[in-house]
């Protein structure tokens, strides 16, 4: 889900087709109601239907930065610069992409409402900041009690975590905004958006900032779901440590165009590639271990397709390395192939929107 | 012209002229030069002066001419002195100017160094300020975390202390019950010993009664035999009857004694057995009940100290979330004034949606078909 890194070759300006999106669908326009929300560790995305048939997607980084209180006097200037801020308890916070850019500019670390796929346990301002960003993305409901499908991670096989509180808070937050919330597993959302040609049978993997989520699906029904608690953030933290730079700088390097896991061009890129390969190997070993231990893995008569999505899968050469490492592990099912989602960054949120449209 | 006059003229020329290199002249644009030596110059001047004087003073007497020459010499010497003095002053001033220029250059260098130092220190100050800000932030966060940790530690310590007190109370209660059980067990053992003693006495009495009955039976047989023979002496018969009467009286007394004590013994045995059962049962019940209560309390205390989330889903919005935004009034944002960039996905979801609906529809029909089959 969370695409901490991802966005290799992503040029936000070029991809913008529209700035203003009609929020109100209750005007008899014929546009379907229901929204999708990808609650990621690094990015938050929303998706709504529009007249063109292709969903309209909004994205904001799931992070914030506290700036010195002297800037309280410059709120008007921040608004003119299109910098979203929240003034809270006599402190000033900048949200989303603006926070990332400012942190990168001044060599500081951003603060994150979420960590490893879940609400950050030590971050006191997590919920208020998350609420503001989600409100900014979703806007007001188009109709009373409009359904919103939001993604949640599966239980991790390598770390003890608890989904109940996280899911409860997100549900409460959406209810507070006037929506009817429904949770959907993150890997299952990838299956919805990417495996239609295979009758929603196969394995969907969401490679996010906080974790990798896996869903084995048969005819759209999730048979096995689990997660591994490492993602793009893990790479950022380790590369930042060994290179002596802030993690945001590493994120920026990862998102720079041209980075290829098979052809690093600098010392920094070599470090990124090293940790990327280590992460993929770790994820696949855990995946094989989970499959080996499980009694609930369905038996497929035909080889199944694996599709990877999420921001962390967007780096050049990811699928090649993934397939290479996969050939080294034994899986209790035959794999037809591994492919990258056509739009990895929006795959989960589009899956959420599909689920919302089925309501 | 005298030699000393020539020297004066040469010094005047030297004082009023400047040595210039050919390069400097070339830089000015001069390309061709005429060169004349100092001696030639002096000879020319001398010739010109003599010529002028000769022409201007042709009709002047030799005496007058010598007077002019002397006056001219005097004036020339005065002018030469002034010229020499001026030259000295100029030299001094040039030395002062050179020294001041050197001073200015030194000051310029110092100024440049100071400027570099100022820039470097300003950069360091900015970095220091930045680092100081980050350290302050880190320190604040660390303090908050430390305060939270201390609070958690205090709470944990309080919980542990409370649990320890309860455990001590529970241990004391268990010890009291152990003592009560020991006392009851000892009492039961005493009662059992008494019962056993009474049983032994009863058995001995029954044995004695049997033995006496046997004796009476033997005597009765002897009496019967004697009557049958009728040959026995009346004294002997009388004696035997007396013994029989005594024996009967003894037997009656024994039976009477035995008859009085047997119900008492039986009642005592029953009472002891009942008491034993009641006491044991009651003590066990009370002990088990107290022990259960104590264990429950300990369990509750431990559960409270090591509570984990209950594995059930609750509606967080109504329970907790609304409280999270109680401070909404003090929050201010510009989000409503800003547009957020939106992109249109290249990939449509309509085909996926249609396929999913079709799949679900087929699944529903299949389920309905199964239901119909089951009904049939």
The domain limits of chain B are 3-96
How far does chain A reach from its first CA to its final CA, in angstroms? 22
Is A82 an interface residue toward B (CB < 8 Å)?
yes
Q: Which residues of B touch A11 (CB under 8 A)?
A: none
Which helix (DSSP H) or strand (DSSP E) does residue A58 occupy?
Answer: strand A56-61
B322 CB neighbours in chain A (<8 A) are: 172, 176
Residue A196 pLDDT > 80: yes
Cβ-proximal residues to B249 (8 Å cutoff; 6+ apart), any chain = none
B336 in contact with chain A, both atoms CB, cutoff 8 A: no
Task: Give the pLDDT confidence score for residue B316 in this predicted structure.
Answer: 44
Provide the pLDDT for residue A13.
38
pLDDT of residue A6: 31
Token reading at B180: 């009560």
Q: What pLDDT tens digit does each residue of chain B (376 aa) get?
A: 667 777 877 888 887 788 888 888 888 888 777 788 878 888 888 788 777 777 766 666 778 878 877 888 888 788 888 888 988 998 899 999 999 999 999 999 999 999 999 999 999 999 999 999 999 999 999 999 999 999 999 998 898 888 888 888 888 888 888 888 888 888 888 888 888 888 888 888 788 888 877 877 887 787 777 667 655 455 666 776 676 677 667 666 666 665 655 666 566 666 656 655 665 566 667 666 766 676 666 555 555 444 443 444 444 444 455 566 555 556 788 877 777 778 888 878 888 888 888 888 887 777 666 555 544 4
Q: Please give the residue that has the higher pLDDT: either A23 or B272.
A: B272
Q: For chain A, list the domains and their CATH numbers.
A: 12-62+112-357 (3.30.420.40)
Please state, rounded to an integer, the average pLDDT across all residues of chain A: 84
Task: State which residue of chain A sits closest to B131, comparing Cα positions.
Answer: A108
Cα-flanking dihedrals φ and ψ of residue B203, to 5°?
-65, -40
Please answer yes or no on whether A18 and B320 come within 8 Å at the CB atom. no
Contact list in B for residue A354 (CB cut-off 8 A) is 349, 352-353, 356
Q: Is the pLDDT of residue A165 over 90?
A: no
ipTM for the complex? 0.76
Coarse DSSP helix, strand, coil percentages of chain A, rounded to the nearest 5 percent: 40, 25, 40
Say how many CB pairs under 8 Å bridge A and B: 166
User: With a threshold of 0.90, does the pTM exceed it?
Assistant: no
Q: Which residue has the higher pLDDT, B2 or A346?
A: A346
For residue B347, which of A349, A209, A202 has the smallest C-alpha distance? A349
**Among the partner residues A54, A68, A86, nearest to B331 by beta-carbon distance:** A86
Per-residue pLDDT reduced to its tens digit, B251-296: 666 666 656 556 665 666 666 566 556 655 666 676 667 666 766 6
């971050």: which residue's tokens? A123
Asked if residues A314 and B313 have their Cβ atoms less than 8 Å apart, the reply is no
């Amino acid at each position: 889900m969370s695409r901490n890194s991802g966005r290799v070759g992503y040029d936000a300006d070029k991809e913008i087709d529209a700035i203003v999106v009609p929020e109100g669908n209750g005007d008899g326009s014929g546009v379907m109601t229901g929204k999708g929300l990808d609650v990621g560790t690094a990015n938050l995305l929303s998706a709504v239907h529009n007249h063109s048939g292709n969903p309209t997607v909004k994205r904001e980084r799931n992070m914030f930065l506290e700036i010195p209180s002297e800037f309280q006097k410059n709120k008007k200037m921040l608004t003119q610069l299109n910098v979203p801020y929240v003034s809270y308890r006599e402190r000033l916070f900048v949200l989303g992409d603006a926070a990332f850019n400012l942190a990168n500019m001044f060599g500081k670390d951003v603060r994150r409402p979420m960590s490893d796929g879940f609400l950050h346990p030590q971050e006191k301002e997590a919920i208020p900041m998350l609420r503001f960003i989600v409100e900014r993305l979703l806007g007001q409901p188009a109709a009373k009690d409009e359904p919103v499908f939001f993604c949640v991670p599966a239980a991790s096989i390598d770390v003890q975590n608890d989904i109940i509180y996280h899911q409860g808070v997100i549900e409460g937050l959406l209810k507070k905004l006037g929506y009817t919330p429904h949770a959907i597993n993150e890997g299952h959302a990838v299956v919805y958006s990417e495996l239609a040609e295979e009758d929603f049978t196969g394995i969907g993997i969401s490679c996010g900032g906080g974790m990798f989520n896996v869903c084995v699906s048969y005819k759209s029904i999730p048979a096995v779901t689990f997660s591994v608690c490492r993602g793009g953030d893990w790479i950022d933290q380790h590369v930042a440590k060994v290179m002596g730079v802030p993690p945001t700088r590493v994120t920026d390097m990862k998102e720079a165009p041209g980075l290829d896991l098979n052809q690093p061009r600098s010392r920094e890129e070599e470090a990124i590639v090293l940790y990327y390969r280590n992460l993929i190997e770790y994820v696949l070993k855990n995946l094989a271990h989970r499959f080996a231990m499980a009694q609930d893995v369905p038996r497929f008569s035909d080889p199944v397709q694996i599709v990877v999505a999420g921001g962390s899968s967007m780096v050049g050469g990811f699928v090649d390395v993934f397939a290479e490492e996969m050939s080294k592990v034994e899986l209790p099912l035959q794999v037809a192939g591994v492919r990258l989602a056509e739009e990895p960054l929006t795959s989960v949120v589009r899956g959420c929107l599909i689920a919302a449209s089925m309501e | 012209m005298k030699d000393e006059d020539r020297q004066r003229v040469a010094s005047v020329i030297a004082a009023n002229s400047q040595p210039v290199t050919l390069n400097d002249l070339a830089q000015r644009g001069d390309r061709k030069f005429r060169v004349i030596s100092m001696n030639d110059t002096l000879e020319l001047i001398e010739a010109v002066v003599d010529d002028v004087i000769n022409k201007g003073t042709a009709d002047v007497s030799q005496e007058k001419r010598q007077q002019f020459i002397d006056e001219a010499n005097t004036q020339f010497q005065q002018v030469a002195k002034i010229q020499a003095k001026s030259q000295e002053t100029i030299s001094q001033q040039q030395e002062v100017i050179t020294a001041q220029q050197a001073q200015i250059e030194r000051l310029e260098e110092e100024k440049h160094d100071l400027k570099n130092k100022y820039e470097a220190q300003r950069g360091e100050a900015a970095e220091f300020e930045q680092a100081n800000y980050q350290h302050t932030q880190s320190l604040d966060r660390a303090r908050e975390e430390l305060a939270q940790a201390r609070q958690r530690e205090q709470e944990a310590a309080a919980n542990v202390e409370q649990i320890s007190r309860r455990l001590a109370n529970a241990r004391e209660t268990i010890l009291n019950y152990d003592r009560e059980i020991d006392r009851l067990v000892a009492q039961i053992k005493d009662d059992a010993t008494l019962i056993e003693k009474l049983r032994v006495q009863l058995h001995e009495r029954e044995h004695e009664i049997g033995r006496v009955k046997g004796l009476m039976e033997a005597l009765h047989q002897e009496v019967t035999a004697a009557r049958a023979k009728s040959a026995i002496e009346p004294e002997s018969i009388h004696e035997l009857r007396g013994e029989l009467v005594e024996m009967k009286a003894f037997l009656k007394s024994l039976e009477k004694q035995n008859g009085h004590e047997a119900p008492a013994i039986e009642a005592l045995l029953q009472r002891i057995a009942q008491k034993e059962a009641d006491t044991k049962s009651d003590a066990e019940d009370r002990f088990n009940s107290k022990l259960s209560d104590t264990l429950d309390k300990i369990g509750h205390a431990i559960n409270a100290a090591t509570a984990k989330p209950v594995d059930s889903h609750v509606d967080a919005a109504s329970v907790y979330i609304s409280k999270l935004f109680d401070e909404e009034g003090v929050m201010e944002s510009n989000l409503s004034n800003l547009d957020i960039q939106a992109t249109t996905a290249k990939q449509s979801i309509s085909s996926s949606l249609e396929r999913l609906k079709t799949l679900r529809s087929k699944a529903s029909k299949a389920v309905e078909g199964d239901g119909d089959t089951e009904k049939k």
